Chain A
């Protein structure tokens, strides 16, 4: 006689959670594809800021002996700026307050009832968001940059695959950081303060405003190894600009992988601690 246990579906637990994850990624993607006008508006703004930043860095290069500030030649600087403007929306440093809002309003209770942990389900939705941004927001600034400035094109075969891996890791790291920042609302109720600090710190120390290599070496290295921030933008941008030799170029991605693991672990830990003390507010 067949003594198998009754199962609801014939797919194993791994297949089923992978399917769930995929569905969540898809829903994150679709959610952003409805804001078409916002996509155009955002690209326009990224392009204006690209002109600003690129002009300033090229003027800097013209003022430095040898025209290579922090080891970037002018074409590498232009690539750094324009790929950075394309990546901004993909990495999604700013503007995510969804979790904090749900904690503040008490809606988080509904998320906790679901069989998938909030860290996993928000990560899936964020990957969907990033994929949508990669398809719509990455290209326009890059095209504008290529039209108006000479860009550095990758010369090594491994650069593009490394860059893509680096972007995926940056998205995961950025998600983890934002999750932890938002999760401070479990303790503070209103997470606007930490979110402001994050917005400021991540832009400057992530390498958006200027390449961090312009700072003293000891400071840059401390930032790379001591914080996840340079892994957000500086890492993928250094990879695509081919600022370093092949070994260091790959090394930057290894550092990112390390930070992705650490940051996700911290997010999961914070979530578990919060659930133990959570008092859901009414309303």
Chain B
């Protein structure tokens, strides 16, 4: 209970601080939604230019981008700001977090919860809803459950990637943009049907790292299509099983990182 109050205080302070500059906050809210809007526009522009890209029609591609952006936007709002960890490490602000009697990760996230990203989540789910409407889906209880679970599993998966990428700062403060290759890169990767990628690049991102299960395989299951790459139909339902180990690995990496952390001592 006391913990909850403490978290609420952290969140309240953050909310008040962003609302101080009201115009700026509004512009940011819209601007952040723009990020997702442009991702979707990019997919639409590309798929409009050809009847099929990688064996997918425009409507089918919108379903992958909808699943991917709903999950990504959710993860980015809740966990995405963990990438500021390197700033905290360099400035020594992490020390202040560690001396408080609360777990460090939730504190860091609540200290800087990006409320400006809220509309992005809304837009991601709107695209997903639109995609479900324009595709001819044969609804079964299994598919309804799949639609409910996939964005959440995707968010857990992306959230883990965010935490793992950010944890690099514990070992390598100048890790710079390397995490972006897997967070934003992962989002871009999952926005398209993975049939568009060359074999080894696809093997690495889609199956070794597990990004195929964020949007591509669930989309196939929803559409009732067989996988042109040969995985059985059950693959569409595996996203929670892929997200779970990702969360466990991320938690492990984070804990190891925190233990490894040596303050700058300034």
Q: Which of A26-83 contact B (CB under 8 A)?
A: 35, 37-38, 41-42, 44-45, 48-49, 51-52, 55-57, 59-60, 63-64, 69-70
Q: Which of B231-264 contact A (CB under 8 A)?
A: none
Contact assessment for A70 and B49 in the assembled complex, using a CB-CB cutoff below 8 Å: yes
Contact assessment for A55 and B197 in the assembled complex, using a CB-CB cutoff below 8 Å: yes
Which residues of the partner chain B approach A194 to less than 8 Å between Cβ atoms?
27
Are A60 and B41 also in contact (CB < 8 A) when A41-B177, A45-B185, A189-B21 are? no
Least CB separation from B177: chain A residue: A45
**Is A190 in contact with chain B by the CB < 8 A criterion?**
yes
Least CB separation from B51: chain A residue: A63
Which residues of the partner chain A approach B41 to less than 8 Å between Cβ atoms?
204
Are A41 and B53 also in contact (CB < 8 A) when A200-B31, A209-B38 are? no
Number of interface residues, chain B, beta carbon within 8 A: 42
Q: Quick one: which of B26, B42, B180, B197 contacts A45, CB cutoff 8 A?
A: B180
Stretch at the interface among B3-11, B135-143, B168-176: B168-176
Which residues of the partner chain A approach B50 to less than 8 Å between Cβ atoms?
60, 63-64, 69
Choose among A41, A56, A69, A199 the residue with the greatest number of B CB atoms under 10 Å from its CB: A56
**Is A243 in contact with chain B by the CB < 8 A criterion?**
no
Contact assessment for B28 and A193 in the assembled complex, using a CB-CB cutoff below 8 Å: yes
Residue interface mask B36-76, A partner, CB < 8 A = 1: 00100110011001111110000000000000000000000
Stretch at the interface among B93-101, B144-152, B188-196, B217-225: B188-196
Contact assessment for B188 and A52 in the assembled complex, using a CB-CB cutoff below 8 Å: yes
**Is B207 in contact with chain A by the CB < 8 A criterion?**
no
Contact assessment for B24 and A193 in the assembled complex, using a CB-CB cutoff below 8 Å: yes
B80 to chain A, nearest CB (A): 14
Which residues of the partner chain A approach B181 to less than 8 Å between Cβ atoms?
44-45, 48-49
Bound-state CA distance A266–B46 (Å) is 34
Which residues of the partner chain B approach A210 to less than 8 Å between Cβ atoms?
42, 45-46
A217 to chain B, nearest CB (A): 13
How many residue pairs bridge A and B at CB < 8 Å?
115
**Is A214 in contact with chain B by the CB < 8 A criterion?**
yes
Bound-state CA distance A196–B33 (Å) is 10
Q: Quick one: which of B27, B52, B174, B180 contacts A197, CB cutoff 8 A?
A: B27
Which residues of the partner chain A approach B176 to less than 8 Å between Cβ atoms?
35, 37-38, 41-42, 45
Bound-state CA distance A209–B43 (Å) is 10
Choose among B21, B27, B38, B201 the residue with the greatest number of A CB atoms under 10 Å from its CB: B27
**Is A215 in contact with chain B by the CB < 8 A criterion?**
yes
Which residues of the partner chain B approach A38 to less than 8 Å between Cβ atoms?
174, 176-177
Bound-state CA distance A35–B23 (Å) is 35
Q: Quick one: which of A41, A69, A190, A209 contacts B178, CB cutoff 8 A?
A: A41
Q: Which of B14-37 contact A (CB under 8 A)?
A: 21, 23-28, 30-32, 34-35
Which residues of the partner chain B approach A152 to less than 8 Å between Cβ atoms?
none
Which residues of the partner chain A approach B49 to less than 8 Å between Cβ atoms?
60, 64, 69-70, 214
**Is A248 in contact with chain B by the CB < 8 A criterion?**
no
**Is A102 in contact with chain B by the CB < 8 A criterion?**
no
Interface size class of A (residues with CB under 8 A): 35 or more
Q: Which of A178-202 contact B (CB under 8 A)?
A: 188-194, 196-197, 199-201
Contact assessment for B46 and A192 in the assembled complex, using a CB-CB cutoff below 8 Å: no
Bound-state CA distance A148–B42 (Å) is 24
Contact assessment for A56 and B31 in the assembled complex, using a CB-CB cutoff below 8 Å: no
Q: Quick one: which of A42, A63, A200 contacts B35, CB cutoff 8 A?
A: A200
**Is A203 in contact with chain B by the CB < 8 A criterion?**
yes
Q: Quick one: which of A52, A56, A188, A199 contacts B185, CB cutoff 8 A?
A: A52
A28 to chain B, nearest CB (A): 18
Bound-state CA distance A193–B116 (Å) is 10
Which residues of the partner chain B approach A193 to less than 8 Å between Cβ atoms?
23-28, 31
Which residues of the partner chain A approach B2 to less than 8 Å between Cβ atoms?
none
Are A196 and B46 also in contact (CB < 8 A) when A45-B177, A204-B38 are? no
Least CB separation from B53: chain A residue: A63
Bound-state CA distance A69–B45 (Å) is 11
Least CB separation from A49: chain B residue: B185
- Per CB-CB distance, the 4 closest pairs between chain A and chain B, nearest first, are A193-B27, A196-B31, A63-B50, A59-B196
Residues of A at under 8 Å CB distance from B? 35, 37-38, 41-42, 44-45, 48-49, 51-52, 55-57, 59-60, 63-64, 69-70, 148, 188-194, 196-197, 199-201, 203-204, 209-210, 214-215
What are 24 residue pairs bridging A and B, where the CB atoms are less than 8 Å apart in the complex?
A37-B176, A38-B174, A42-B177, A45-B178, A48-B181, A51-B197, A52-B188, A52-B189, A56-B196, A57-B46, A60-B46, A63-B52, A188-B23, A190-B24, A191-B24, A193-B28, A193-B31, A196-B28, A197-B30, A199-B31, A200-B34, A204-B41, A209-B38, A209-B42
Residues of B at under 8 Å CB distance from A? 21, 23-28, 30-32, 34-35, 38, 41-42, 45-46, 49-54, 116, 172, 174-178, 180-182, 185, 188-189, 192, 195-198, 201
